[in-house]
Amino acid sequence: MLIIVLKRSRKKRKAFLKLDGLNAFVALDTRSRTLVAVKNGSPLVAGMGKNENFVASDAAGIVDYTRDILFLEDYDLLSIEGDKITLYDVRSGKEKRLKHQKVDWQIEPESLGKFKHFLMKEVYEQPRVIRRIAHESGYEVVHLANLIKKSFGTYLVGCGTASYACLAGTYLFSEISKRHLNFVIGSEFNYLEDFITPRSLVIGVSQSGETADIIESLTKAKKKGAQLSCLVNVIGSTLYRLVDFKVLIGAGQERAVISTKAFIGQISLLLFTSYALANRLAEGRRVLQKTARAMETILSKDSQSHIRVLARKLWRHDHIYIIGRGISYSAALEGALKIKEASYIHAEGFAAGELKHGVIALVEKGTPCIVIAPPDKTLGAVLAAAMEVKARGGLIIGLSDKNNEIFDHFVKVPEAGLGSLMLNVAVLQTLSYYLTLDRKHDPDKPRNLAKSVTVK
Ligand code: G6P
């Protein structure tokens, strides 16, 4: 009721302006049959249909009914009385011009097809996501590479899974294009923003484009005059509309709460951009194509039955450790997050070199330790760390292109250069799925988690 009178009364409008924090309200006055929507910080969209109108927190919820969408800005107040739609600025009370737009997104069918859960369906879409980027994102990654080249300080900002994509990005840019990029977790940006200047480039990485910590970080960077870019999956999202140059991940709608294919898309784009920055775009494309093919091998029946059996050996354990070095360190973190989120087993990813600085104290007889050992410059050192764990009774599960006598169990992961990161993550995504089934949880609806976190 408060909201209904907002547009008419200056006093009540002021009350709304006093509200602190992120919010979006929708209220219905049943007497006058007026629907009012108002927002500050949280996402809110309206859809204009024929003899019907819609309000939702994001456009994906209503595009099945109408493609005529109005994205509300902060302090917009929308009033819908029958066919009469009016927009006000809640600060001044003045009427604003309605700027709705037609969206022509492809909507994916909600069907599971041959899959039991969206989580696995989306993992199986990953080779397609990588190929699409290899074939269609050339222009975007070259443009982004130029922005990085011109900037004085580039920051990758993400939360959760996207934060691990950002961390992996720092390794990719270092190795491929010899360029230092900064990585900041969205919720920590507040405390590290002092270095942002008008010459900085801040790249928000996000599946939903609505994560509050990312929006807040980029808004602050904008105030400091920085240039903004993003890798985002949801067209029209707040992040999409906030930045100067956007790169679409194009993974298609992610329905499972746990992010999989968007992460693979983010890594593919960061890898491709690193190659573009090194003027080796064609080589980047080849690495992506090889990775897509190799991922199909991992998702093949044989390889999956093997991972299924491995899950049966692990699901009763309370703790699983994952180690990797270099780019595989980010794979270890992402793999551990997948296992935690879905199966609720305590899983931790570590940089293998950190074992001796504390983690080794946790290893007991039979403690499972997954060792990410691709045939790259990290191999010798990561196997040495695995040896240390084994000497203390740890159960070693090796992810590598070749078996090794240190491994108690072995999952074959084809060699794909810097694309191996995505392959190791695919193994851990599917392992996490099977662990979740064995522990009788729902892989698509993990407890306490939300698909997009629009609150601070
Ligand atoms: C939530 C989800 C995670 C996701 C994170 C960041 O915590 O549960 O799966 O990685 O938000 O989301 P974003 O949409 O910004 O990538």
How many angstroms separate the alpha carbon of residue 352 from the centre of ligand 1?
26
- pLDDT, tens only, 79-90: 888 888 899 988
207 Cβ closer than 6 Å to some ligand 1 atom: yes
Residue-wise pLDDT tens digits, 351-384: 988 888 878 888 889 999 999 999 999 999 999 9
Query: Quick one: which atom of ligand 1 is closest to the CA of 262?
Result: 16
Which CATH class name applies to 2-102?
A: alpha beta
Between these two residues, 199 and 360, which has the higher pLDDT value?
199
Name the range with the highest mean pLDDT among 13-27, 90-104, 267-281: 267-281
Average pLDDT, the chain: 91
Mean pLDDT of 172-198: 94
Assess whether pLDDT exceeds 90 at residue 10.
no
376: DSSP letter: S
Any ligand 1 atom below 6 A from CB of 259: yes
pLDDT for residue 106: 66
Q: Residue ranges of the domains in the chain?
A: 2-102, 116-299, 300-447
Q: What is the pLDDT of residues 42-66, one digit of tens each?
A: 888 888 888 888 898 888 778 888 8
* pLDDT, average across residues 198-222: 95
**CA–CA separation, 172 and 1 (whole Å):** 53
Q: Is the pLDDT of residue 234 over 50?
A: yes
For a mutational test of ligand 1's pocket, the pick from 452, 454, 455, i.e. the residue with the most ligand atoms closer than 8 A to its C-beta, is 452
Best mutation site among 58, 156, 206, 208 for ligand 1 pocket (most ligand atoms within 8 Å of CB): 208
**Rounded percentage of the chain residues whose pLDDT exceeds 90:** 65
| Count of all residues that appear for the chain in the document | 456
% of the chain beyond a pLDDT of 70: 94
- Whether the predicted pLDDT of 218 surpasses 90: yes
DSSP 78-131: EEEETTEEEEEETTT--EE----EE--PPPPP---TT-SSHHHHHHHTHHHHHH
Lowest mean pLDDT among 146-155, 237-246, 438-447: 438-447
One of 3.40.50.20, 3.40.50.10490, 3.30.360.10, 2.160.10.10 is the CATH number of 116-299, namely 3.40.50.10490
| 3-class SS of residue 134 | helix
Global pTM reads: 0.88
Domain covering 300-447 assigned CATH 3.40.50.300 in the classification: no
Q: Average of pLDDT values for 274-289?
A: 98
Collapsing DSSP to helix, strand or coil, 247 comes out as strand
Q: Identical fold at 2-102 and 300-447?
A: no
pLDDT tens, residue by residue, 384-412: 999 999 999 999 999 999 999 999 999 99
Burial class (CB in 10 A: 0-12, 13-18, 19+), 275: buried
- Position in ligand 1 atom list of the atom nearest CA 160: 10
Selection from 185, 416, 199 nearest residue 289 by Cα: 416
pLDDT greater than 60 at residue 7 = no
Q: How confident is the model at residue 1 (pLDDT cuts 50, 70, 90)?
A: very low
Which of the four pLDDT bands, split at 50, 70 and 90, describes residue 2?
very low
Nearest to 367 by CA among 341, 393, 342, 406: 393
Confidence of residue 11 (pLDDT cuts 50, 70, 90): low
